Structure 1
Amino acid sequence: MSDPSSPARWLKSLGKPFRQRLLLASTLSGGASVLMIAQAWLAASVIAAVVVDNAGLAEIRAALIALAIVIPIRLWLNLLAARISHDLASRVLRRLRRKLVRRIHRAGPIAIQRHAGGEIATTLVEGIEALRGYFANYLPVVHQAAIVPAAILIALFPMDWISASVLLVALPLAPAFMYLVGKGAEALNRRQWEQLTRLGAHFLDILRGLTTLKLFNVSRAEAAIIERLSDDYRRGTMAVLRVAFLSSAVLEFFATVAIAMVAILVGFRLLETHISLQTGLFALLLAPEFFLPLRRMGVHYHDRLQAVASAEKILALMTLEPPGTARADNTEVLRAGRIELSLQGVGFHWPGRDSGVDDIDIDIPAARHVAIAGPSGAGKSTLISLLLGFVRADRGSIRVNGKPLAHWTPESWRAHIAWLPQQPALLHGSIRDNLLIGRPDADDAVLHAAIEQAGLGDFIAGLPRGLDSPVGDLVGQVSGGEAQRIALARAFLRDAPLLILDEPTAALDPETERVIQHSIERLAEQRTVISIAHRLHTLLSADQIIVLRDGRIKQQGSPAELMQDDPTWRRLFHQREPA
């Protein structure tokens, strides 16, 4: 992003898939321009005939009929061109929003950690919407500014070369000064967009931590900060608008001076009879139309500046890639009823951080349970991120059923994984929508079977609208155990051969934990299971335990082998967890 012109070029490239619509809108505008010139000539001829020749209605009837035809057709062409331009803008924005959401989804949770949640939300909504004015207003006006003045000069030069020369000389002055003024507005727009993203990110953080803010009695202080940030944004907006109005005023000034010059020259030549009244009126009628597209470009120049500032943020998200991950061209689908994994010499280090994993050698047979243990920062989450395909190993190899993990696309690989975290995410939508994330094509019979397996039936039966109850209406009604059961039903529904657990019962009370643990054990049958273990019963239920420390494997083996080799593990395994 070092090249400041790259956002502007990228904006233009967004319209390429819709080039035909853009060409159609430009053609209609060109047709309207030709009719505008014809309208000016007809109007000038009617006025000249009446004033100079004392023509009656019979003599000017044909011209009046032509005017009655030309004016509505010109209006219709302009309206149709505007409608096509606005439709083009909507199509571009929809396509870009889908593309950006797919990019964020493909990049994964690791890559987007560099951006605040509020910043991403602001860019997806306000950021993309800020491009609408560029495609609906500014871009069509730019095309009109190229077509209309050229058409007028071609029509006017043979009849009145003096007026045409005045318009030609004034033509480059207005855009040049508008560009100089606009350079200052561009920096202000960029600063304003930074303020908007900071405001959005801060506000979202406050909403997420509202309970904590209330408990510590600092909500009023945070409200004061939001008020200050909002006022800063208001001041920034007014500063941008002042500069935008200044650029428009510069255009108006040069256009007015040029039109006045044409009027003065036409007037003197009419007095000396060096020009006919019809030609003079024709020049006077065309002069305002000559500058009209430039005036509109000045009015909508702010749309361009806003779009360029927004494009910088959008481009930052469009270039997201998971750390250490290269794009895979292979689209082969992984077809496996059972999954075995082999990690040989795997290493990965986070960019800019002194953390990661080194020399990881693990063999995980199919349908076995492997528990990963270790203190905070030992590399457990990094190892899981490698297995989930969110990052790619710097060295070594990860093999799935004998083939390198990179052989498959991330989407194909993750389709065979069920994931149960400590705090499952419930997304916007109904309970049904949240469950069908695991398997969108599941029918009602399969869905209800997964609900019963997860022990979620009584909870759903107690909801007013059952499966169709919106999650947003259940705030405060969904306990941690019920949220975990929803995630568990999602995993049953997915029916994946690989199950990855991040101690999903860690935050639950003992009774709920026992019920959900029993459901997890049923889910784990005949599946390969990898779990991040913090509790003793998880370690005891594993076939193999991997102990990480400082990113390296310090111990590994079955619970029996660890008890035999290490007195610390022996004492630990003989203890019982407190109730």
Structure 2
Amino acid sequence: MLRLLPYVVRHWTVYLPLLCLMVVEAFTGIFFAWFLKNSTEAAIHHETATLEWTLAAGMGFIVLTAAVSYLTTYLGAKAISLVKRDLKTDLFNHILRLPTEHYTKYHSGDLVSRLTHDVGNISGAVGESLLNLIRLVLISGFSLIYIFTMNRVLAVSCLLFGPVAVAIGSAFSKAMRKNNSSLYHYLGQVNSFLNEAFAGHLVVRAFTLESVFAKRFLDDSHRVSSLEVKSAQYMGTLRAGSSAVGAAALLFSVGLGTIYVSKGYITVGALMAFVSLVQQVVQPIRGVSGQLGNFQRSLAASERLWKIFAEPVELDRLHEYRGSMDVREGLVTRGLTFSYDGVAKALLNVTMRAPVGQKIAIVGQSGAGKSTLFKLLLGLYKPSSGQIWIDGKAVDQMAVDELRSYIAYVPQETILFGGTVRENLLLGRPDASEVEMIAAATDANAHDFILALPKGYDTDIGELGVRLSGGQRQRLAIARAMLRNAPILLLDEATSAMDAETELFVKEALERLVHKRTTLVIAHRLSTVRDADMIVVLKQGQVVEQGKHDDLLARGGEYSRLYRLQFQNRGTARKSIDDAV
């Protein structure tokens, strides 16, 4: 609650009127008791004038009650909406600033669940349940004060049942929150599973996994359902106990009140007022159980949010595009060492140089450290030791957005976002003009196929660009990098799985992209790096060879072995195909 308090205080202009309205609402219960007392006694004593103005006051009371009910409903909903908006914004911004390794720690579906389901459930702690708890306490407190003015013995008799109700609520609160925490944890897992199932639907169909996935979803649903039923059991027991205490308090108090009337201690009108006030005291005892259950659900949801907020961020602020930078000397790494787990070295003492305008190829077997090197160059991870320089300036002394303003990145697996072609291209440079965007698309051999789409540049490409072919998505990624116009290009070669015509289009686009840029390319097919100015060979995270294609072949080392192995495998595969035909 202390962590949620700043979000409440931030919108005090909404919460303060709400508190004032709840005070007024609490007084309406007292007014109703006063109305019963005075109208009953006026009727018994045939005081027509008193009865008339009492009834007129009652009419005004109805109008006031309606206005207060409308305003509390409206302001309560507004307060909840504002707090949830701020929580979602702060949580999403916090997630965006987390270090890269945290995106492997948390499943994307679980993060989505926290942003949607958990933030949605937190409304009880900052809105409806919290406000109702305050309202019930005010109503009960003001009613008790009025009863004290009427008869102290009756007031004390009402108070006797309070500790019993508190004890029942306390007994179930912790159990309910623990159960709800488990429930929200499994709901996050279910969301993660659904994300994977829908994203990988082609594999599900191809491998006939429908029944396997259906059974897993059924098992997860059973687990969630059992926790929901358990939560309902806790809630039912809490309500039953609270209702029993409330009914006992009402029965005892009314019984005592009738005795007082029979003995002449209080009037019939006072008894009517007393019964009404006891209802105002008992109602919170009954109602607090439901509100307490909702409140505990909200606190369980908030605990999952605070676990994310507790993760240390990598960035001190959200970064924005700051324009491309000029490079005059190039990029250098010296003694670059990195480990993911603190034990095994993914990179060890990597030293290399990428002069301005040259193409540097990074080759090696799978797991040699090629992708890890790119992640360090992008600033996604920090090296355990060693340093990266751009134009003689150490990368660790740059702001992250400054570092990335030097770099354009084209991944092997193209990543596009839901939206239009235009929106995806402008992610490379948001301030680019229409002419610049079209020029980049043209250079990437993408302009013609874009115009052939139903709405051209304003065509929605679907989730992750699913409505485009692989080659089209790759050319859009190249156009996005061209539009960024950064002097250093990190290129993960991605033409090996394309047909000949598409590969030709992509290769032509890549040739234009690397022109006059300092390029580091991860080469999966060694035949594509013969023209590289320098080839850096990685093996088990270490640089074992550097040089040009012909020189490395002549040495007969690791590069020569990889080259022979690749072409031998290709020849064997071709012979097998020919034999099969």
Same fold (TM over 0.5): yes
Alignment CA distance shift 1:412-1:422 (3 Å): same
The CA deviation at 1:350 is: 0.9
- Corresponding position of 1:178: 169
The CA deviation at 1:430 is: 1.9
351-360 or 446-455, which moves further after superposition?
351-360
In the alignment, does 2:469 pair up with 1:479?
A: yes
Query: C-alpha offsets along residues 346-397 of structure 1, whole Å, 9 cap, x if unaligned?
Result: 2221136634222222333333322222211122222111111111122222
The CA deviation at 1:272 is: 0.5
Between the aligned partners of 1:571 and 1:423, the Cα distance in structure 2 is 27
Between the aligned partners of 1:570 and 1:119, the Cα distance in structure 2 is 46
Q: For residues 250-329 of structure 1, what are the structure 2 equivalents within 5 Å?
A: 250-321=241-312
The CA deviation at 1:485 is: 0.9
525-534 or 144-153, which moves further after superposition?
144-153
The CA deviation at 1:36 is: 2.7
Q: Which runs of 5+ in 2 are unaligned?
A: 575-581
In the alignment, does 2:60 pair up with 1:47?
A: no
8 A contact 1:420–1:502 mirrored in 2: yes
- Corresponding position of 1:5: none
TM-score relative to the length of structure 2: 0.89
- Aligned residue among 451, 454, 457 for 2:447: 457
The CA deviation at 1:547 is: 1.8
The CA deviation at 1:335 is: 6.8
Alignment CA distance shift 1:411-1:265 (3 Å): farther
- Corresponding position of 1:26: 19
Q: For residues 365-380 of structure 1, what are the structure 2 equivalents within 5 Å?
A: 365-380=355-370
Query: C-alpha offsets along residues 272-292 of structure 1, whole Å, 9 cap, x if unaligned?
Result: 111133333222211222243
Q: Residue 158 of structure 1 aligns to a residue in which SS?
A: helix
In the alignment, does 2:54 pair up with 1:72?
A: no
Q: For residues 505-544 of structure 1, what are the structure 2 equivalents within 5 Å?
A: 505-544=495-534
Alignment CA distance shift 1:20-1:170 (3 Å): farther
Q: Residue 10 of structure 1 aligns to a residue in which SS?
A: coil
Between the aligned partners of 1:321 and 1:565, the Cα distance in structure 2 is 48
User: What is the RMSD of the two structures over their aligned residues, measured on CA atoms?
Assistant: 2.9
8 A contact 1:85–1:135 mirrored in 2: no
- Which amino acid in structure 2 is aligned with residue 55 of structure 1? E
- Aligned residue among 321, 337, 362 for 2:326: 337
8 A contact 1:371–1:539 mirrored in 2: yes
- Which amino acid in structure 2 is aligned with residue 190 of structure 1? S
- Corresponding position of 1:218: 209
Alignment CA distance shift 1:490-1:119 (3 Å): same
Between the aligned partners of 1:326 and 1:435, the Cα distance in structure 2 is 25
- Corresponding position of 1:135: 126
Query: C-alpha offsets along residues 256-304 of structure 1, whole Å, 9 cap, x if unaligned?
Result: 2112222111111011111133333222211222243443332233322
- Corresponding position of 1:496: 486
Alignment CA distance shift 1:159-1:404 (3 Å): farther
- Aligned residue among 355, 360, 363 for 2:350: 360
Percent identity over the alignment?
26
Query: C-alpha offsets along residues 177-204 of structure 1, whole Å, 9 cap, x if unaligned?
Result: 1121222222221222222122222222
Between the aligned partners of 1:168 and 1:429, the Cα distance in structure 2 is 62
- Which amino acid in structure 2 is aligned with residue 196 of structure 1? L
| Count of residue pairs the alignment pairs up | 568
Between the aligned partners of 2:561 and 2:345, the Cα distance in structure 1 is 31
- Corresponding position of 1:94: 85
Between the aligned partners of 2:131 and 2:156, the Cα distance in structure 1 is 26
Alignment CA distance shift 1:353-1:239 (3 Å): farther
8 A contact 1:11–1:308 mirrored in 2: no
Q: Residue 365 of structure 2 aligns to a residue in which SS?
A: coil
192-201 or 558-567, which moves further after superposition?
558-567
Query: C-alpha offsets along residues 531-576 of structure 1, whole Å, 9 cap, x if unaligned?
Result: 2121224422322222222222222234465356556646877998
Between the aligned partners of 1:321 and 1:411, the Cα distance in structure 2 is 19
Q: Residue 150 of structure 2 aligns to a residue in which SS?
A: coil
519-528 or 503-512, which moves further after superposition?
503-512
Between the aligned partners of 2:14 and 2:271, the Cα distance in structure 1 is 38
8 A contact 1:436–1:442 mirrored in 2: yes
8 A contact 2:478–2:510 mirrored in 1: yes
- Aligned residue among 83, 90, 94 for 1:103: 94
The CA deviation at 1:477 is: 4.5
- Corresponding position of 1:15: 8
8 A contact 2:14–2:75 mirrored in 1: yes
- Aligned residue among 434, 447, 470 for 1:444: 434
8 A contact 2:324–2:484 mirrored in 1: no
Q: Residue 172 of structure 1 aligns to a residue in which SS?
A: helix
Between the aligned partners of 2:117 and 2:290, the Cα distance in structure 1 is 21
Query: C-alpha offsets along residues 406-456 of structure 1, whole Å, 9 cap, x if unaligned?
Result: 333323432442211111122222222222221223332222222211111
- Which amino acid in structure 2 is aligned with residue 338 of structure 1? V
Q: Residue 377 of structure 1 aligns to a residue in which SS?
A: coil
TM-score relative to the length of structure 1: 0.90
Q: Which runs of 5+ in 1 are unaligned?
A: 1-7
- Corresponding position of 1:232: 223
